[in-house]
Amino acid sequence: MKEPSSFILGFDTFTTYHHNKNVMVTGMIGKAKPVTPELQSAMFRCEMCGKLINVPQGGGKCSLLRPECCTNKNCKSTKPSFTFMQERSKFSNYQEVWLKPMDEPRLRLGQGQKIILKKDLVGVKEGESVLVKGKLGFELIGKTNLAIPIVLASEIQQLDKD
């Protein structure tokens, strides 16, 4: 496959300079979490008037975003209360995997490069060799100011087992 010039190639070399840039990495899936549903938009019902309110969600590990007030101008609620309606909300597939270099010794410590797969990109398994294209982002570590680089995948291809 010809490498597009708009992609930065690397592994364990990403810095703040590369933030929000297109990247391409190849390696072997060292760890793959199970595919899980991710809430895309949440539907709520106002307990006072019954109005349905759709609230787009932040994704990933964000807390559930709730409406602050009812959007029905005729609603008489002074202290709005909302019920989350799971059956009317929208979900999509989500998977976290860690990519390791192909030539990495088996005993090396560390998880490798974290990759986020969404929608139809999910379903890879440990041991598969892949090429991943996506945007580089950062994820905060716990309640600190430190962050780790993550690749938000836009494409993933399984490499031939030659």
CATH of 39-92, one of 2.60.40, 2.70.50, 2.40.10, 2.20.28: 2.20.28
8-36+93-158: CATH, from 3.40.605.10, 1.20.1290.10, 3.30.70.80, 2.40.50.140: 2.40.50.140
Residue 105 binned pLDDT confidence (cut-offs 50, 70, 90): low
* Amino acid at the residue 137: G
Q: Could you give the residue range(s) of every CATH 2.20.28 domain in the chain?
A: 39-92
Q: 30-83 pLDDT, tens per residue?
A: 899 999 999 999 999 999 999 999 999 987 667 889 999 999 999 988 888 999
Domain ranges in the chain with CATH number 2.40.50.140: 8-36+93-158
Is the whole-model pTM more than 0.85? Answer: no
